[in-house]
Amino acid sequence: MFNFRAVMRFSGMSALLACAFMLGCSDTPDEETPGSRGSWGVRELPVVTAPVERAPLIDSIKSVGTARARQSVTLYPESSGFVTFAKLAPDTPVLKGETLLKLDDRDQALAVRQAEVELAEAKRTLTRYFSLNASEANIPQSTIDTAQSNVDLAEIRLAQAKVELSRRQVMAPFSGRIGITDVEIGDRVDTSTVITTLDDRSVLLVDFTVPESFIGKIVMDLEVQARQWESPDDNTSGTIVAVDSRVDSATRAFRARAAIDNSVDNLRPGMAFEIDASIEKGEYLSVPELSVQWGADGPYVWSTEGDRAMRSPVEMVRRVDGRMLIRGELSEGERVILEGIQSVRPGMKIKDINAVKATAHSSKSEKADRG
């Protein structure tokens, strides 16, 4: 009798458990039970979203080069002699054609004067022959031709004398600034003596090398940034003015030249510069880096469609300043989930905290305006 009662009790408990299990597996949807948390279709998951933006992909090339003046020359005399005049104060600005140095030119000046006299006499003779012929003196044509040749030769001798006289001075071939020199008045110089240097540093030129992969991207008139090697906080802008026609087979790089404006004259030839050239390579979709997740089939983001979460596969392009440039079937202005990602599932109903805050702020503003 005891065993029968125990069996009956055990059977009753089993029946109760079976009923409870059947109720738990009922097909009745969760929407019928207020506050139920058993379905992703009803449960609202609070998330933080951010908009999808468009941003450019910019490649930056950094290279170091040494500046030189736009025009630079070392001046030598064209002949030997004693210095009688010198305008060679260091760092003095001079104009094109200005005389910087003169040598003793007394002999050359006399040679010019003599050539002038000879030319004048030859011209008078030729003129006299023409006058006599006009009065029927009948001077032979050969005599007139000889007189004409004498005039031509005298003109050549005068030109040669003037050239020799001009070689007794050194003039500035272009406007610029003079360098330091040791030449003084009274010194004897020859054609191997360095008189001074002259630099036009109103514009500085910086040559730098660029990898061959950037051929066609480093082009004329491209703007670059130039940073002094010893003063990285002092930046100035420049422009590409020349690109080499070939690639160095040893370094697999080509040479480019940037021009830096130095109208304020605070830079000097010989300075080292870091050249930074930025090249835009198109626009891409941009999302916060934290919104990009990894799955078995690659990277993806959780995008929003209304109040539902959608999984959108993407292709990563590059990470830039805390954001990720991507390719994918997204549009600018769409929103991606940034926080609360770990609990998101496809089709889950979400509650965008950003939208709630924006609505609350708008309501407060409207009430304030009415008040």
The listed range with the strongest mean pLDDT (54-58, 94-98, 347-351) is 94-98
Please report the pLDDT score of residue 23 as a whole number: 37
**Confidence grade of residue 40 (pLDDT, cut at 50, 70, 90):** very low
**Confidence grade of residue 8 (pLDDT, cut at 50, 70, 90):** very low
Please report the pLDDT score of residue 370 as a whole number: 54
Question: How many whole angstroms separate alpha carbon 209 and alpha carbon 144?
Answer: 68
Residue with structure tokens 């830039």?
Answer: 320
Neighbours of 244 (CB within 10 A): 16
- Find the mean pLDDT for residues 341-368: 68
Q: Which three-class secondary structure state does DSSP give residue 1?
A: coil
**Confidence grade of residue 279 (pLDDT, cut at 50, 70, 90):** confident
Record the tokens describing residue 303, joined without a space.
């995008």
- Buried b / exposed e over 315-344, threshold 16 CB at 10 Å, is ebbeeeeebbbbebebeeebbbbbebbeeb
Of 175, 201, 174, the closest CA to residue 93 belongs to 175
Does 209 have pLDDT greater than 90?
yes
Question: How many whole angstroms separate alpha carbon 329 and alpha carbon 313?
Answer: 8
Does 47 have pLDDT greater than 50?
yes
Q: Kindly write down the DSSP assignment for every residue of 45-85, as one continuous string.
A: EEEEEEE-EEEEEEEEEEEEEEEEEEEEEEE--SS-EEEEE
Question: How many whole angstroms separate alpha carbon 40 and alpha carbon 27?
Answer: 16
Question: How many whole angstroms separate alpha carbon 362 and alpha carbon 368?
Answer: 10
Record the tokens describing residue 169, joined without a space.
């001075």
Q: Contact at 8 Å (CB) between 189 and 103?
A: yes
Record the tokens describing residue 291, joined without a space.
């919104």
Question: How many whole angstroms separate alpha carbon 236 and alpha carbon 223?
Answer: 11
- Find the mean pLDDT for residues 161-176: 96
Tens of pLDDT, residue by residue over 104-131, are 999 999 999 999 999 999 999 999 998 8
Does 67 have pLDDT greater than 60?
yes
Q: Which domains does the chain have, with CATH numbers?
A: 40-56+283-359 (2.40.420.20), 105-167 (1.10.287.470), 204-275 (2.40.30.170)
- Find the mean pLDDT for residues 143-171: 95
